[in-house]
Amino acid sequence: MITSLRWRTAAALLAVAPNALAAQTWATRIDSIFANQRGTDRPGCAVGVVQAGKLIFARGYGMADLAQGLAITPQSIFHVASVSKQFTATSLALLAQSGRISLDDDIRKYIPELPVYEAPITIRRLLQHTSGIRDQWNLLIAGGWRLGDDLITEQDVLDIVSRQKVLNFPPGSDWSYSNTGFSLAAIVVKRVTGRSLREYADSALFQPLGMTRTHFHDDNHHIVSGRTRGHTYEAGEWKETVPNYSTVGATSLFTTVVDLARWHRQLDSGLVGGRRLLDEIFRPAVLTSGDTLRYGLGISVRGVYRGVPTVSHSGGDPGYSSHLLHFPATGSGVSVLCNSSGVANPVRLAELTADAALANELGAEPTPPAPVPAATISGLEGLYWSESLEAVARLAVDSGVAVWRAGVGLAGGTRLRETGTAGQWWMGAGPGTVTRRPDGTVLIRTTNGEAASWAKVADWTPTAADRPALVGRYWSPEVDAVWEIRAAGDTLLVHRRKFAPTRLTPVFKDTYISSGGGFGVGLVRAVRGKDGRVNAFLTGSGRVRRLRFERITESAPLATAKAP
């Protein structure tokens, strides 16, 4: 009798709660996905899963504040870095919908402090990253600012951007990620409405959506109950690292995974602004060349994960990293917010979480195309230069297959894979491609859709006579900073205010890569006058191109200088 009762009870549970048992299974899988973020000795992440507009899972892993011993919960507040951009773009789209601005207005209508360039920059171009305006963070770093240490305000950004004499490219002709556009958008909101972006977004977006624990953090000294503290891992220990910004628009949104569940519903149904507003946000940018990109207004669009369309955006700032992944066809999505930088990978964590919780909405895992064998690129291997991007890369062979190497030290690399079209290969899993041209150049089209030409150049090792040519002191009025290049044995070092010396590694004639010293990866190119002497150099770091420094005095090599 007891055995029969137990069997009937178990059968009844299985009959009425199969979904609950299935949920328990995938919830356990999510716990394992975040295994490296769990524990009381490390920062961690919060994750939220929305299905058909409803929050079905929210959990915290690791510590919100190591010093205070506070654990992360679904209600913990995170700085979400560039995930902020879609909220800024939506705020500007709402202003346009109300008739107070047009997204196609010249930005100088509202911010006349900006220089007059060869063509007007519109608000839309700012929000699409197609304006050509240089990135504020790279400019500030070049000027001697330390992100995470020096307090950066809205006025600091406006001051340095107003000094820029040239753009990276003519507006609308290319795409380059620029935080500046979103900081300027926040200024537009203030000048049009008389209210800060924090105040406007709160009344126009967050209150209507019920996002009660969300705000644009425009005062870095403002105390926020329940916030997490940011961390980095250095020299074998965790260190507290908090963004030192009193500027918003490009970053500085504070929110929770629970509040972001409400934002997923907004992305699905347009509770604020309606379908017309969503169509504006999701409309992909189109370049003057006619190329259609995968970026809309403040958010990546036209993405695909396991055969399902996505819109998404990731974020990273000192001490924080984040990712929002949304599936518009089903109203489902995942948010992952972490209070560490350079450790967790929120993009992959969000994808794995979707695999676990939303498997029935996704297609099969795609089989990657075959790698490109070394023989296929015979004669193409070598160093390449893109004049338009001001960047170097290397097409190489690694373990018998072709790879494209860019970034720090031109190491590592992305595997090329077969597309089935002769002379064209996928960049990794695609949709970016590498195309061989008859003139020996290659055309690289990124995952986002913009394209650039790359030409082969010869590797170069400077002689003892070549190295002193660049030694000297240089000044840039655009960032109001002096850089000094010194010789140190058989190498050159860049010395700058507040930063450790940066080594210059030669790549091709009169061109060097700089890495370390707080500057990240950048290029330094000598500019020679008619007499053959170096009288200036151009430097670029991806988001800032062709920043010019003029020689101001000669400086003899310092025998005591040491390479880092």
- pLDDT tens digits for 473-491? 999 999 999 999 999 988 9
Task: Write down which residue in 312, 331, 361 finishes a domain.
Answer: 361
Please tell me whether residues 276 and 417 are part of one structural domain: no
| Domain membership flag for residue 204 | yes
| Domain membership flag for residue 118 | no
| Domain membership flag for residue 200 | yes
> Do you find a cis peptide bond into 431, omega within 30 degrees of 0?
yes
- What single-letter DSSP state applies at residue 367? P
Residue 525 to residue 528: CA distance in whole angstroms? 10
Is this prediction's pTM over 0.85? yes
| Domain membership flag for residue 220 | yes
Closest CA to 287 of 387, 391, 180, 170: 170
DSSP string, 523-549: EEEEEE-TTS-EEEEEEE-SSS--EEE
The rounded radius of gyration (Å) of the Cα atoms in the chain is 25
113-129 per-residue burial string, b: 16 or more CB within 10 A, e: under 16: ebeebeeebbbbbbbbb
Closest CA to 249 of 161, 326, 334: 161
Please tell me whether residues 248 and 380 are part of one structural domain: no
Closest CA to 329 of 295, 355, 363: 363
What domain range is 497 assigned to? 467-553
Please tell me whether residues 493 and 421 are part of one structural domain: no
Q: Give me the tens of pLDDT residue by residue for the chain, a chain 564 residues long.
A: 334 433 343 333 333 444 665 677 999 999 999 999 999 999 999 999 999 999 999 999 999 999 999 999 999 999 999 999 999 999 999 999 999 999 999 999 999 999 999 999 999 999 999 999 999 999 999 999 988 788 999 999 999 999 999 999 999 999 999 999 999 999 999 999 999 999 999 999 999 999 999 999 999 889 999 999 999 999 999 999 988 889 999 999 999 999 999 999 999 999 999 999 999 999 999 999 999 999 999 999 999 999 999 999 999 999 999 999 999 999 999 999 999 999 999 999 999 999 999 999 999 998 999 999 999 999 999 999 999 999 999 999 999 999 999 876 677 789 999 999 999 999 998 899 999 999 999 999 999 999 999 999 999 999 988 989 999 999 999 999 999 999 998 899 999 988 889 899 999 999 999 876 555 558 999 999 999 999 999 998 889 999 999 999 754 444 334 444
pLDDT of residue 410: 72
Residue 511 corresponds to which tokens in the numbers above?
A: 């061109």
Please tell me whether residues 411 and 339 are part of one structural domain: no
DSSP string, 392-414: EEEEEEETTEEEEE-SGGG-S-E
Residue 179 to residue 154: CA distance in whole angstroms? 12
Please tell me whether residues 214 and 338 are part of one structural domain: yes
- CATH code where residue 252 lies: 3.40.710.10
Looking at the 3D structure of the chain, how many domains does it have? 3
State the chain's maximal CA–CA distance in angstroms: 104
| Domain membership flag for residue 30 | no
Please tell me whether residues 319 and 443 are part of one structural domain: no
Please tell me whether residues 474 and 508 are part of one structural domain: yes
Task: Write down which residue in 311, 326, 361 finishes a domain.
Answer: 361
pLDDT of residue 559: 37
Please tell me whether residues 323 and 214 are part of one structural domain: yes
| Domain membership flag for residue 231 | yes
Please tell me whether residues 233 and 300 are part of one structural domain: yes
Task: Write down which residue in 457, 487, 506 finishes a domain.
Answer: 457
pLDDT of residue 29: 96
- pLDDT tens digits for 247-280? 999 999 999 999 999 999 999 999 999 999 999 9
Please tell me whether residues 206 and 342 are part of one structural domain: yes
Residue 420 to residue 424: CA distance in whole angstroms? 8
Residue 303 to residue 300: CA distance in whole angstroms? 7
C-alpha distances in Å from residue 262, one per residue of 49, 191, 259, 339:
11, 29, 5, 21
Residue where the block lists tokens 């990240």: 520
| Domain membership flag for residue 303 | yes
| Domain membership flag for residue 357 | yes
pLDDT of residue 489: 87
Q: Three-class SS of residue 383? A: strand
Please tell me whether residues 227 and 342 are part of one structural domain: yes
Residue 165 to residue 478: CA distance in whole angstroms? 7
- CATH code where residue 493 lies: 2.40.128.50
Other beta carbons less than 10 A from residue 212's beta carbon? 12
Contacts with 540 (C-beta within 8 Å, 6 or more apart), sequence order: 390, 391, 522, 523, 546, 547
Please tell me whether residues 246 and 303 are part of one structural domain: yes
Q: Is the dihedral of CA 166, 167, 171, 173 positive or negative?
A: positive
